[in-house]
Amino acid sequence: MSTAGTVKAPESCMQIEFLRHMNDKRANASDADALTVEKKAFQEACKATAGTMPGIFAWGLVSGMAMVKSGLTIWQALGMTFVVFAGSAQLASLPLIVANAPVWVVFATALAVNLRFVIFSAAIGPHFGHVAWFKRVWYGYFNADVTMGFFPQRFPAQTLHRPEGKVGFFAGIGYLNWLAWQSGSVAGILLASLIPQSWGVGFAGTLALLAITIPLIINVAALAGVIVGSIVAAVAAGLPYRLGLLLAVVLGMAAAMIADTALGKKGKGI
């Protein structure tokens, strides 16, 4: 019996070691497959959004020039573009800074203009429940308008339970958008003194922004927000400290949310 026991013990150890080895191989193969999926999703996102990047670059160029021409130093402008990383908030706050508006007005305006990113994050966030919180914070920095334009189309709400490819696709949009924006913004900051106003770069940036924004109007709720926001911005253009822009953003978002709620109730037959 002791001899049989000594024979079985090594065999049992060998079996356990073999099973561990097979599990490690399966885990490594699974990791490799997941990495391949994310790489393909990253490449897919880059291809899908490549057409919008010239417009992003142009808008960044205009924003960079605007910061320097508003009186910011090169280092202040560079700090703003990398830390804030939000063109609409930057352009909305610049005239307030130049006009020596109260700090709370500057912050309130930038916050209101960027409130849409809270909505974007609420819509996209559930897709990243499997990602560690510090990684979600990292990806949150790269959230942008173009992300909301492409991500929900590729991964609608029905895919919440399938995490495959989502990180790669989001990163493909976010990183390429960041690179295009910062390249344009830094170029605008460094070349602001060399580009004359007669070139009409500001108007070109406006056209570029329209080219980016129009494809994002994918439903009636978004259209309602654009219409209301545009009307309010035009009517309230004379308000001091450009508060008309702040009012337009708030009312435009409210209109979009009301329209979305009404359409949702109608679809459910309520």
pLDDT tens-place string over residues 174-208: 999 999 999 999 999 998 877 766 666 566 666 66
CB atoms near residue 215 (< 10 Å): 12
| pLDDT-wise least confident of 29-33, 153-157, 254-258 | 29-33
pLDDT at 10: 58
Given this model, what pLDDT does residue 14 score? 58
Positive or negative CA dihedral for 32, 37, 41, 47? positive
pTM for the predicted model, two decimal places: 0.72
Residue 269 falls inside a structural domain: no
In our burial notation (b when 16+ CB lie closer than 10 A, e otherwise), range 239-261 reads eebbbbbbbbbebbbebbeebbe
- Quick one: what percent of the chain has pLDDT higher than 90? 27
Q: Give a yes or no: residue 173 inside a domain.
A: yes
Residue 18 pLDDT class (50, 70, 90 cuts): low
User: Residue 260 domain-assigned?
Assistant: no
Work out the mean pLDDT of the chain and round it to a whole number: 81
Residue range 216-221: average pLDDT? 78
150 found inside a domain = yes
The total number of structural domains in the chain stands at 1
Instruction: Answer whether residue 233 is part of any domain.
Output: no
Contact of 250 with 119, CB cutoff 8 Å: no
**For the stretch 51-74, what's the b/e string if a residue is b when 16 or more beta carbons lie within 10 angstroms of its beta carbon?**
ebbebbbbbbbbbbbbbbbbebee
Q: Is 172 helix (H, G, I), strand (E, B) or coil?
A: helix
Domain limits for position 166: 2-216
pLDDT at position 143 is 92
- Residue 76: pLDDT band by 50, 70, 90 thresholds? very high
Asked, for residue 236, whether it belongs to a domain, the answer is: no
For the segment 218-236, the average pLDDT, to the nearest whole number, is 87
**102 or 218, greater pLDDT:** 102
Let me know if residue 240 belongs to a domain: no
Q: Would 268 be classed as within a structural domain?
A: no
Whether 107 has a pLDDT exceeding 90, the answer reads no
